[in-house]
Structure 1
C-alpha cells in the first residue's frame, strides 16, 4: 500500500531529484575531470533556465507577474549557500573574463564579507544585509554562471523584497517567492550532490564568499576537492544552523 502524503511537492521533488541524478550520471565519468564537471553544470543550468522560461510564460499568461528585473538586487545582500562545484564554475568564469584589477576587487569583497559573517551567530547572519562580492553596479557580474540558489529565487512582488531588506528582523515580512522554481532547482542540485557523494566527493555546501575566497587565493583547492582531499567544511556548523533556522516554520 502506497503511503499518502500531504506534501503537494512530494512527487515533483522525487522527479527532479531523479532528473538531476540521471543528468549527472550521463555527463560525468568516474574520474570527475574539472572540465566535464563545468560542462555538466552549464547543461544543468540550461535545463533549469528553460524550465523557468516556460514557468514565467505560464505565470504571465495567468495574469500574475514576476518582478525580478536587471538592476534589482535586494536579494543579493543576503546569505547564499553554494556547492563547491558551482564556485569552480564561477571562478573559472572570473579567470577567463576579468582583468587583474577586477579579480582583486572581487577577492577583497569576498574577504571582507567572509570576515564579517563568520563572526556572527546564525541568527545574526540571517539579519545581515551585506552585498554579494560578485555584485557590481547593482547587477551580478557573473550572471551567466550564477549559482542555482540565485536562478530559482523568483519574486512575485518586489515591494516584499524591499520590505524584507529593510526589516529583516520582522518574521512576518518575507519575500513573496514562487515555490515551484525553488523545489525544482534544489532537487536538481540534490541529484548532483547524491551522485558526487557516491563518487566519494564532499557534498558540503558553504557560504558563497567563503568558498570564493578560498578558490581565488588557493586555486589548487578545487583540484584537491575533486580528488577527495578538500571538503570546504570549515565553519559548516554555522551553515547547518543557518539552514535549520531558514527551514523553521
Structure 2
C-alpha cells in the first residue's frame, strides 16, 4: 500500500513543482497583464486536464456549464489573478459588458465590506463575472474556481437554497479527495512561486481585490 501511495503522489509532486518553478520564473521577469493572464490559463489547464483524466477513469464529477451554484460562494484570489480578470475586462469584454461588470464589482465589494467572511459564504452573492449561468472570464478564472468541484449537483443546489446550513453535514459537498489534494497543491505551489519571485503571498476577496485595481486606474 505504501508503494502505491508513493507512486500516486509522484505526478502530483511533479505538477506542483512545475507550477512553482513556472510561477516564480514568470513573475520574476516582471509583472504585467499578459503574464498574469498566461499564469491563470496555464494553471486552469493543469487542473482541467486532471479533472478530465479522472472523468475518463469513471469519476462522476457533476460540474457542467450553467451549473452555477458555486459562482455564488466567497472566492479569494492571488494578486495576479485579479490583474488577469481586470485585463480580461479591459481587452475582451464589450464596452457595455465591461461597464456592467465593473458596476457589479463595486456593488459586491461594498456588500462584502459589511460582512464577515462567514456571512459572505452564506450570502449567495453572485460573482460579478457570472452571465446567464456562465463565467464570462472562464479562461482566466481564479485557481479557487478551477479547483472547486462536486460529485452531487443536488447537494450544491441544496446548499445554495438553504445557505443557513452551510458548514453542516447536510450541506456538505461530496468531492474527490484526489482532485482536492491535487488542486490544493497547485494553489500552494502558486503561492510559493509568488513568494520566490519576491511578491506577497496570500489571497484577497475577489471583488475587493478588483475594486482596488479599478480605483488605481483612476
Class of the TM-score when normalised by the shorter of the 2 chains: 0.7 to 0.9
Instruction: Name the CA distance, whole Å, in 2 between partners of 1:99 and 1:38.
Output: 18
Instruction: Name the CA distance, whole Å, in 1 between partners of 2:62 and 2:182.
Output: 19
Q: Which runs of 5+ in 2 are unaligned?
A: 1-7
Instruction: Name the CA distance, whole Å, in 2 between partners of 1:124 and 1:206.
Output: 16
Instruction: Name the CA distance, whole Å, in 2 between partners of 1:207 and 1:194.
Output: 19
CA deviation map 1:128-159 (0-9, x unaligned) = 11100111112111112111111121111100
Q: Larger relative contact order (C-alpha < 8 A, sep ≥ 6)?
A: 2
Q: CA RMSD in A?
A: 2.4
Partner residue in 1 for 2:5:
none
SS for the counterpart of 1:132 is coil
Q: 1:206 to 1:12 in 2, by over 3 A?
A: farther
The answer to whether residue 112 in structure 2 is matched with residue 117 in structure 1 is yes
The answer to whether residue 45 in structure 2 is matched with residue 50 in structure 1 is no
User: What are the equivalent positions in structure 2 for 1:51-70 lying under 5 Å apart?
Assistant: 51-60=50-59, 65-70=60-65
Aligned length: 208
Instruction: Name the CA distance, whole Å, in 1 between partners of 2:147 and 2:39.
Output: 18
CA deviation map 1:70-129 (0-9, x unaligned) = 111111111011111112112212211112221111111111111112211233122211
Q: 1:128 to 1:161 in 2, by over 3 A?
A: same
User: What are the equivalent positions in structure 2 for 1:25-40 lying under 5 Å apart?
Assistant: 25=24, 27-28=25-26, 30-34=28-32, 35-40=34-39
SS for the counterpart of 2:190 is helix
TM-score w.r.t. length of structure 2: 0.84
Instruction: Name the CA distance, whole Å, in 2 between partners of 1:18 and 1:86.
Output: 19
Instruction: Name the CA distance, whole Å, in 2 between partners of 1:13 and 1:125.
Output: 32
TM-score w.r.t. length of structure 1: 0.75
Q: 1:189 to 1:213 in 2, by over 3 A?
A: same
Q: 1:30 to 1:73 in 2, by over 3 A?
A: closer
Q: Which runs of 5+ in 1 are unaligned?
A: 1-8, 221-249
- Which structure's residues are more often helix, by fraction? 2
Instruction: Name the CA distance, whole Å, in 1 between partners of 2:11 and 2:155.
Output: 27
